[in-house]
Amino acid sequence: MKEIKAIIRSFKLLDVTEALQNIEGLPGVTISEIKGFGKSRAKNANDKVTYELVEFIPRIKLEVVVADEMAEEVINVIHKYAHTGNTGDGKIFIVNVEEVVKIRTNERGKEAV
């Protein structure tokens, strides 16, 4: 299994989530509002926010855990619909998941996702 975490621009959330919903068998997506900065920092960003004298850029973090065979499709969809070609488009992180436990049923592995 893979955990796919994507940091994307806020205004791309609807495009990305609509496209993800069209993937057959996608178990679900967790979405968080976050703030951060990248290599270029937030100095020239139009949407920056300042917190205790540090400038941050608001972004969205998507998290999804999928079977290995579904990972590439999810990554491609996120990339396609989050891409603008400009600095600050975000990142996609792919992490191996050893185990998943569904709290309600105590199911484990792929069935728990």
**What is the residue-level pLDDT of the chain in tens, covering all 113 positions?**
999 999 999 999 999 999 999 999 999 999 999 988 777 655 556 665 555 556 788 999 999 999 999 999 999 999 999 999 998 899 999 999 999 999 999 999 888 88
Closest CA to 1 of 80, 64, 93, 77: 64
Give the 3-state secondary structure of residue 110.
helix
Q: Report d(CA 105, CA 101) in Å as an integer.
A: 8
Q: Report d(CA 56, CA 43) in Å as an integer.
A: 9
Is the Cβ–Cβ distance between 83 and 89 less than 8 Å? yes
What domains sit in the chain, N to C, each tagged with a CATH number? Answer: 2-32+62-112 (3.30.70.120)
Closest CA to 3 of 101, 97, 112, 99: 97
- pTM reported for the whole predicted model: 0.85
